[in-house]
Amino acid sequence: MYPVSLRYSKVLSISCLVVGILLFVVALLTAEWFSMLPAVILGLLGTLMLVNPMFVVHDGEAQMRSPLGFTTRRHPVTGPADLRAESKRLVHVPTGKKVASLGFGVDKGDVQRLRSSVPGN
């Protein structure tokens, strides 16, 4: 099971990147400089979502991460039995808390690999 990671959806990541680039080009062509800020933010977000995973399990803990790569939540895990894949969410069994959403915004291939490595309903 270790290490397991869930990446952001490629469609969502590339969409953010493309919209950011289009907004940047439009801002350059129209000389509306205040429009560059959302363009840069979306382009950077799309790039970071392509590079950084949103969820990682390694070294005895499950980590939820931001697109910037910072760990936002940690859950201790000792093995595959500590995580359970329910319909559209991943649950930490000892605490009963939702660890990650497995629906919109997550790479479907990574979700299938995760479901095959942890017990589920």
- Give the structural domain span for 66: 4-78
CA distance 90 to 14: 25
CB 119 within 8 A of CB 84: yes
31 lies in some domain? yes
Helices (H), 31-81: 36-51
Q: What percent of the chain has pLDDT over 70?
A: 97
One-letter amino acid of 72: T
Q: How far apart are CA 105 and CA 64, in angstroms?
A: 14
- Radius of gyration (Cα) for the chain, nearest Å? 17
* Residue 90, domain member (yes or no): no
Mean pLDDT of 104-110: 89
What DSSP element (H or E) covers 84? strand 83-85
pLDDT per position as a tens digit, 7-25 = 999 999 999 999 999 999 9
The arithmetic mean of pLDDT across residues 108-118, rounded, is 86
Calculate the CA 111 to chain-centre distance. 11
**Structural domain includes residue 57:** yes
Q: Is residue 114 part of a domain?
A: no
Asked whether residue 107 is assigned to any structural domain, the reply reads no
Selection from 13, 2, 1 nearest residue 54 by Cα? 13
Q: pLDDT at position 121, please?
A: 58
* pTM for this predicted structure: 0.82
Residue 22 lies in a domain: yes
State the total domains in the chain: 1
18 found inside a domain: yes
Per-residue pLDDT tens digits for 42-81: 999 999 999 999 999 887 888 999 999 899 999 898 887 8
Is 73 among the domain residues? yes
